[in-house]
Amino acid sequence: MTKEDDKVIPVRVALRCRPLVPKEINEGCQCCLTFVPGEPQVVVGSDKAFTYDYVFDPTTEQEEVFNMAVSPLLSGLFKGYNATVLAYGQTGSGKTFSMGGTYTSAQENEPTVGVIPRVVRKIFQEKSKRMDSEFLLNVSYLEIYNEEILDLLCTSKDKPVLSIREDPKEGIKIVGLTEKAVLTAQEMVGCLEVGNSARTVGSTAMNAASSRSHAIFTISLEQRRGSENSVFRISKLHLVDLAGSERQKKTKAEGDRLKEGISINRGLLSLGNVISALGDESKKGSFVPYRDSKLTRLLQDSLGGNSHTLMIACISPADSNIEETINTLRYADRARKIKNKPVLNIDPQAAEMKRLKQQVQELQVMLLHARGGVAPVSNININTTENVSKILEKNRSLQEENTKLSRELGEAVGQTAMMFERIIMTEQANEKLQGKLEELRAHAACKVDLQKVVETLEDQELKENVEVIRNLQHIILELQVRVTRYAMTSESPEAYTTQHALRQAQLSKELIELNKVLALKEAFVKKMCQNDSQLEPIQTEHQENIKSLQSAVGSLQKEKEELILALHSAKKDTNQAKLSEQRRKRLQELEGQITDLKKKLQDQSKLLKLKESSVRSVAKLNQEIQAMKAQRVQLMRQMKEDSEKFRLWKQKKDKEVMQLKEKDRKRQYEMLKLERDFQKQANVLRRKTEEAAAANKRLKDALQKRSEVAEKRKDVQSRGMEGVASRVKAWLLNEVEVLVSTEEARRHLQDLLEDRKILAEEISQLRQQMDSGERPVAKVRRRTLTISELEGKGDLEASISKQVENLETEMGLRSAQIADLQQKVLDADNEGRMKQRWDSITTIVEAKSALKILMSEVISTSKTANAKLESELKQEQANHIDLQKVLFDERRLMSTMEMEHQSHLVELEQRHQEKASVSEELEKMRELTEQNQKLKDENEQYKQVRESACTNAYYLLQSNMPGCTTSPPGFN
């Protein structure tokens, strides 16, 4: 395609570094790039400089990028040159942002608008300036994904897959691609918008797509002039948002083998090849592999032809992306095909600053090493700790006392309640019994004089039966007596100690008073009744007496009247004087008798009256007794309610106390766990740091040796075969050492980056806590000691801010170490060195000895390493088995303990229901749980040990047996 006489137009390269994005900031990433003011130069690490046509630092606005780099292309476009703008870089480096691949019309006047919309605006501006010609503008927008071309302007639902045709006249054509003729800038930008949204839809459906697809927005410009209006110039502008370059690493982007790219992105790979073929002076005129991919075929027009091409190499400034950034820088460098001659043009002030910064960094690394890799643990004031533990101690003893007292209280109250319940019950039973007894007593059977019956009876059997009945009669009577006696006795009051018990005591005192009075009254009533019953026979007797007396009085009266009558008649008859004397006497006698009897009668009736009144008072008393009983029941109910209320309250309080205790326990445990976690983390971090430091040293030594070897080489240049062999050997072994230690350093770098990320996360979480004023969340891996939480919020905040400070120092140290290590890796992994690597072998003799050395080196290392590894593996396996056994045992133990714990728990639960307080048992339970937890943790540790042992073994295996996996890099 290329013609010998064609003027070579250099591919221009603009380097664009975006600012750190929030994600990187959150992960604690540092900027690893320096921009030289006033120079199109960027420095990676401390001294690795790259120069491009334009370098845009993170502060550069879109407008500047456009004006400086893109705008000049457009004048070429109007002159008939094809032009291409390629955005290259790893995913997330700002390609789409720079190109305007997310443009929507809403953004129209914003400064963040990317290249394409600005190009459109500019083209129409230019067009309006050139009135002498007629312009026809067409746009197309396509996407290449998986070597398939998709039309982004096609509106139909199922988009056809397009194919490329090569027309001898018109060049490359895409069959069926929508080419939209546009008249205004709005129309053109509208096409961009439509295509962008189509691209977005596609990439959400298939997430990986956007970083693996190329988007090409093409503007073709047809210029007509003259009377026939004939086309005199056709030019095309391709604006390309390339796929993310990071995948190229795996395909060895520097190699020019295509087959590796099949599964990855063929387009990007062949673009690289095309660019180097076009750019390399030495390859000038040789075959350019355009046909290797759709992308290069489509860009064929504009690459290497009459085209101005600009590559915008997008990079991230974050140190975590340093490898990708360097890859991009190298790729862009090659694209520019200009051999770099790194010149550091830094002004004196900046140089001093840089020196000081580096010194600080070195000091930080030293500090880190001196500390053994860990920042100090937050030093909580010892006094406060003591105070807290004292307070805790006091709290505990108070709680214990409280428990004891509540227990006593509960017991006393329980007893009281029980007693009163019993009283009520006995009372009721008593009443019933008395009722029954009364009934029985009233029963006719009791009234029969059985003694008499027995005496009169002759039948022996009947006699015996009656005897039994008589015994029953006795028993009834006896019972009655006993009941009376029982009712008379009253219970003695208990002494109450607790507050609640005092109230209860008051109530019970009232109750007892009441009982006493009641008992007295009842006794009184009983006595009265008894009196009455005793009185009854007398009464009847008296009544009979009265009757007989009355009849006697009547008969006496009669006799008297008769006598008086006789006396009257006798007066007339003196003969009868003697008789009448007798009669008078008798009369007197009778009168005396009558008055006597009358008196007696009077007495009797008095007695009767008395009885009546006593019955009345008994009834009244009984009424009173009933009222009092009701009152007593009321009182007792009140007491019962009170004690029930108290019981509930106490239950609640007990529960609360338990919960508090539980909380406290949990907190303490959490604290322990956090401390343990922290220790673990600190250990891991220290180990990693130490390892990284060791790797750093190893690399440094190797580099040192390399330069020494290089020096020596000059001396021994001419010393024949022996000299050659030893020189080659020293060089080769050193080279291997450099490579191996570089790889190792890379691995440690990755670790350090990861650690820093974790630290940064912790910091931001702590900050959030501080801002929101929340209590720390346990979920977060924290280093805060929870004990400080007990001391209120202010202290908590202080401790958090201290924590943040510590973590920040740690992060700073880690950043320093990262920068340090990256610098070493950069030194070792220099591109120039890679090229030079084999340059030192110039003769067959050298090559042969190198091969020999390599061979023996490989064999010896692999053999010895193999043997060593095998024995190690065996050991590790044995260890593994041992650990598994231990683990198994521990698990079993744990499960039995769990069961014990469960049963214990159940038991305790039961006891808890019986008793109000079970704090001691709980204490035991807590111990058990803690033991349990301890065992669990131990298990965890065993597991970890086992795992790390396995990983170690695996790593050893991998690193020492290169034949097993991949060969060490750099030997191709």
314 contact, one of Mg ion, ligand ADP, none, CB 5-8 Å limit per kind:
ligand ADP
Q: Is 89 in the site for ligand ADP (CB under 6 A)?
A: yes
410 contact, one of Mg ion, ligand ADP, none, CB 5-8 Å limit per kind:
none
Cβ(651)–Cβ(916) below 8 Å: yes
The single residue listed with the structure tokens 């020096």 is 711
Task: Tell me the number of residues near ligand ADP by CB under 6 A.
Answer: 13
Sheet of 41-44, strand order:
33-35, 41-44, 48-51
In angstroms, the CA 820 to CA 368 distance is 13
Helix (H), strand (E), coil (C) string for 931-944 = HHHHHHHHHHHHHH
Closest approach of ligand ADP to the CB of residue 272, in Å:
17
Q: Is 117 in the site for ligand ADP (CB under 6 A)?
A: no
Closest approach of ligand ADP to the CB of residue 94, in Å:
3
Query: Which part of the chain contacts ligand ADP (CB under 6 A), choosing from 32-40, 93-101, 177-185, 262-270?
Result: 93-101
Cβ-closest residue to ligand ADP? 94
Q: Is 91 in the site for ligand ADP (CB under 6 A)?
A: yes
In angstroms, the CA 137 to CA 511 distance is 111
Tell me which amino acid residue 650 is. K
- Tell which one of 2, 9, 19, 665 touches ligand ADP (CB under 6 A): 19
Query: Which part of the chain contacts ligand ADP (CB under 6 A), choosing from 15-23, 287-295, 324-332, 879-887?
Result: 15-23
554 marked among binding-site residues: no
38 marked among binding-site residues: no
Which residues touch 113 (CB under 8 Å, ≥6 apart)? 62, 100, 103, 107
The single residue listed with the structure tokens 């007509």 is 224
Query: Which part of the chain contacts ligand ADP (CB under 6 A), choosing from 18-26, 164-172, 448-456, 936-944?
Result: 18-26
Closest approach of ligand ADP to the CB of residue 794, in Å:
39
Cβ(817)–Cβ(752) below 8 Å: yes
CB atoms within 10 A of CB 518: 21
Cβ(227)–Cβ(103) below 8 Å: no
Query: Which part of the chain contacts ligand ADP (CB under 6 A), choosing from 13-21, 411-419, 522-530, 618-626?
Result: 13-21
89 marked among binding-site residues: yes
CB atoms within 10 A of CB 618: 18
CA 420-423-425 angle, 5° bins: 110
91 marked among binding-site residues: yes
Query: Which part of the chain contacts Mg ion (CB under 5 A), choosing from 90-98, 601-609, 627-635, 747-755?
Result: 90-98
Q: Is 314 in the site for ligand ADP (CB under 6 A)?
A: yes
Q: Is 18 in the site for ligand ADP (CB under 6 A)?
A: yes
650 contact, one of ligand ADP, Mg ion, none, CB 5-8 Å limit per kind:
none
Helix (H) or strand (E) run with residue 52 in it:
none
Q: Is 68 in the site for ligand ADP (CB under 6 A)?
A: no
- What is the torsional sign of CA 272, 275, 281, 285? positive
Region 750-779 residues binding ligand ADP, contact defined as CB under 6 A: none
Closest approach of Mg ion to the CB of residue 296, in Å:
20
Cβ(348)–Cβ(355) below 8 Å: no
Give the pairing of strands 48-51 and 41-44. Answer: antiparallel
92 marked among binding-site residues: yes
In angstroms, the CA 887 to CA 881 distance is 10
* CA nearest neighbour of 242 among 97, 89, 118: 89
93 contact, one of ligand ADP, Mg ion, none, CB 5-8 Å limit per kind:
ligand ADP
Helix (H), strand (E), coil (C) string for 332-401 = HHHHHCCCCCCCCCCCHHHHHHHHHHHHHHHHHHHHHHHCCCCCCCCCCCHHHHHHHHHHHHHHHHHHHH
Helix (H) or strand (E) run with residue 219 in it:
strand 213-225
968 contact, one of Mg ion, ligand ADP, none, CB 5-8 Å limit per kind:
none
Q: Is 95 in the site for ligand ADP (CB under 6 A)?
A: yes
| CA–CA distances in Å: residue 684 to residues 156, 406, 678, 743, 755 | 57, 50, 10, 21, 10
Cβ(866)–Cβ(911) below 8 Å: no
Q: Is 420 in the site for ligand ADP (CB under 6 A)?
A: no
Q: Quick one: 19 or 414, whose CB is closer to ligand ADP?
A: 19
Q: Is 41 in the site for Mg ion (CB under 5 A)?
A: no
Give the pairing of strands 171-175 and 180-182. Answer: unpaired
Region 843-862 residues binding ligand ADP, contact defined as CB under 6 A: none
Closest approach of Mg ion to the CB of residue 209, in Å:
10
Closest approach of ligand ADP to the CB of residue 346, in Å:
24
DSSP state letters, 816-840: HHHHHHHHHHHHHT-HHHHHHTTTT
- Tell which one of 82, 93, 96, 213 touches Mg ion (CB under 5 A): 96
- What is the torsional sign of CA 95, 99, 105, 108? positive
94 contact, one of ligand ADP, Mg ion, none, CB 5-8 Å limit per kind:
ligand ADP
Closest approach of ligand ADP to the CB of residue 114, in Å:
8
Partners of residue 216 on adjacent β-strands: 142, 240
574 marked among binding-site residues: no
Closest approach of ligand ADP to the CB of residue 145, in Å:
15
Q: Is 92 in the site for ligand ADP (CB under 6 A)?
A: yes
* CA nearest neighbour of 152 among 210, 105, 87: 210
Region 876-895 residues binding ligand ADP, contact defined as CB under 6 A: none
Q: Is 93 in the site for Mg ion (CB under 5 A)?
A: no
Which residues touch 421 (CB under 8 Å, ≥6 apart)? 640
Q: Is 96 in the site for ligand ADP (CB under 6 A)?
A: yes
Q: Quick one: 56 or 81, whose CB is closer to ligand ADP?
A: 56
Q: Quick one: 96 or 403, whose CB is closer to Mg ion?
A: 96
Task: Tell me the number of residues near Mg ion by CB under 5 A.
Answer: 1
970 marked among binding-site residues: no
Q: Is 93 in the site for ligand ADP (CB under 6 A)?
A: yes
Residues that bind ligand ADP (CB under 6 A): 18-19, 21, 89, 91-97, 244, 314
List, as residue ranges, the binding site: 89-96
List, as residue ranges, the binding site for ATP: 89-96
Residues that bind Mg ion (CB under 5 A): 96
